[in-house]
Structure 1
Amino acid sequence: MQEVKTVVTPVDFSDNAKMIADSAGYMAGKFGAELHLVFVLQNFEDYSGFFVPPVNLPNLEKELLESAQQKMEEFAESCREKALAAGIAGLHSKVLTGDVAEEILQYAKEVHGNLIIMGTHGYKGLERIMFGSVADKVVKGACCPVMTINPYRKDCGEKE
């Protein structure tokens, strides 16, 4: 296994995202690696068979992207202090658009990611049925090790 210098962690801004990012920061710190937080805004084209897009779709996409970038800046800032205290080599954040799993895999490849750390749960309900498990697709397609964290499991050795 190659030395871990770059950890990529997808976030979805859910209630569990901070815990996943903190865990990734801890692991990146153990390796003295950089931590890359990434959020992927799902393509509207993926929904094209389900609805007729409004006339102002380009404006909506632009507004969603700007909102996601602002949210990512705030999220990364909220993680910065704890991640730096854990000993990471640097903290980076990026917002991408496209198929979530494909963009995560492509980004990890671009930044020479040595480890992807992500949650097992994100999408719920109809979106999960339509798009499947992002974690599953990343695990199957990654060219580096993937560590998954189930944020709902509390019975694996933790003392309450």
Structure 2
Amino acid sequence: MSKTIVVPLVAPHLDVNKVSQQALPIARALMARTDALVTLVSVIEVPREYAALVGALGLESSVQQDWIEERREFLEQIARTFPEGRATVVVRVGDPASELLDLARDIDDPVVVMTSHVRTGLQRALLGSVTYRVVHESEWPTIVVPASSEVSGAETARLQRILVPLDGSSFCEQALERMLAVLGTEGLELHLLHVIEPPALHPDFTALEYMSEARDWAIEYLAGVTERLSSRGITAVAEVRTGRIAEEIQRAARDIGADMIAMATHSRRGLQRVVFGSVAQRVLSESHVPLFLHRPMEAVQVEAARPAEATAAPSQPRLVSEVMSPPVMAVREGATLEEAERLMREHGTDMLPVVDWRSRLVGVIRRSDLPDKRTKASE
């Protein structure tokens, strides 16, 4: 379990609606579950023009010290709402994202809990870009609380029913394991979800065939994950849905009354596709549910990170899409020879990898395998 919960907070004059304090109920719930300590941090970002003016007047040191003391008093007021000795305060001056990352690196096994952004008047400020950088540059998990959350900072959130979207990749399963390591397993109710996106029209196979095979695979895959979790005493149920991934994740979270959604920051397409900028970002923008985000390690390190009791379970097959590099030049095994020839011509290649419906490599086709058009014409 994480030893320290880091909660970035914004000064009241910049956060009149106390949006940044929406992270506090999650921090309290984590503290109750894990017995971790809490570090409340606020970063003073001084505008360049103001800093230049203060410096020219020779007031830089005294003014900055006044700001620090004012910010520290704000944090200490909140710290007193936690059990005695459980919360400490830190005030820093500089770029908010850089200072938060530096602080977290100096802490043993942290988890950062922060809101998605803060609005000051008509302007989006501070935590929008800060959250993005923290999520993408951190080596630790980040819990992002939607700014639309209606829970007051003095309350304690419930962390029991967790929605875990899985796509069959090691990245998503690593996020699951990291979430269990942070929250602990006692009293958790996991809802495993796999979303099948309906295919566009494709000559390989009909939509009905695709959906049937995809659903059969998803049911079998989720059953295996559920069985492994059950063997560890963890309650889990599984569900397969059809539709757009982000929309179905949001809908499932509402339907089951999820307290949190746990996701990886990257999809099964590997480190080149960042989910936080697509699926997870859409989930967060529409959801009232906190999002547990974990940045996965390289795929070769994932198996070593799993607990020993899970290693005996049969591993899922690696996908070509986890390690391939763009541009994608592949043909499905059900495509016509004319389509294969066209792709070779367009990409200037004499060979194409052949993949099945799960994007697994099943063979190759060479230009020499194609029928000679001149011979066919003479016939």
- Relative distance call for 1:76 and 1:19 in structure 2 (3 A) is farther
Measured at CA, do residues 137 and 53 of structure 1 come closer, stay the same or move farther in structure 2, by a change above 3 Å?
same
**Superposed CA offset, 1:104-137 (max 9, x none):** 0100111224200011112652756xx9611001
Q: Does the alignment pair 1:101 with 2:94?
A: no
Contact map agreement 1:123 1:133 (CA 8 A) in 2: no
Please state how far the C-alpha of 1:138 moved relative to its aligned partner. Answer: 0.5
> Aligned letter for 2:70?
Q
Higher-helix-fraction structure: 1
Q: CA deviation at 1:59?
A: 1.9
Pick the aligned partner of 1:37 from 35, 40, 49: 40
What are the ranges of 5 or more consecutive residues in structure 2 without an aligned counterpart? 151-252, 260-379
How many equivalent pairs are there?
A: 145
Q: Gaps (5+ residues) in structure 1?
A: none
Whichever of the two has the greater Rg, that structure is 2
Is the partner of 1:152 in helix, strand or coil?
A: coil
Q: Higher RCO, 1 or 2 (CA under 8 Å, sep at least 6)? A: 1
Flag the 1:74–1:132 CA change in 2: closer, same or farther, 3 A. closer
Distance 1:16 1:137 in 2: 19
SS at 1:4 equivalent: coil
CA contact (8 A) 1:73 1:93 kept: no
Matched with 2:148 is: 152
- Is the 8 Å Cα contact of residues 118 and 128 (structure 2) preserved in structure 1? no
CA gap 1:4/1:78 in 2 versus in 1, 3 angstroms: same
1:33–1:133: structure 2 CA closer, same or farther, 3 Å change rule? same
CA deviation profile, 1:9-31 (whole Å, cap 9, x unmatched):
11103222333234313222321
TM-score (norm 1): 0.73
TM normalised by structure 2 equals 0.34
Alignment partners' CA distance in 2, 1:30 and 1:119: 20
Secondary structure in 2 aligned to 1:111? coil
User: What is the alpha-carbon root mean square deviation over aligned residues?
Assistant: 3.1
CA distance in structure 1 between the partners assigned to 2:93 and 2:26 by the alignment:
25
Matched, 1:10 2:8: yes
Residue number in structure 1 paired with 2:75 = 75
Relative to 1, partners in 2 of residues 1:111 and 1:66: Cα closer, same or farther, differing over 3 Å? Answer: farther
SS in 1 for 2:83: helix
Deviating runs (4+, > 3 A) in structure 1? 153-158
CA distance in 1, matches of 2:34, 2:92: 26
What residue number does 1:84 align with? 83
Counterpart residue identity of residue 41, structure 2: V
Distance 1:74 1:12 in 2: 10
Structure 1 residues 121 and 59: CA distance shift in structure 2, 3 A: same
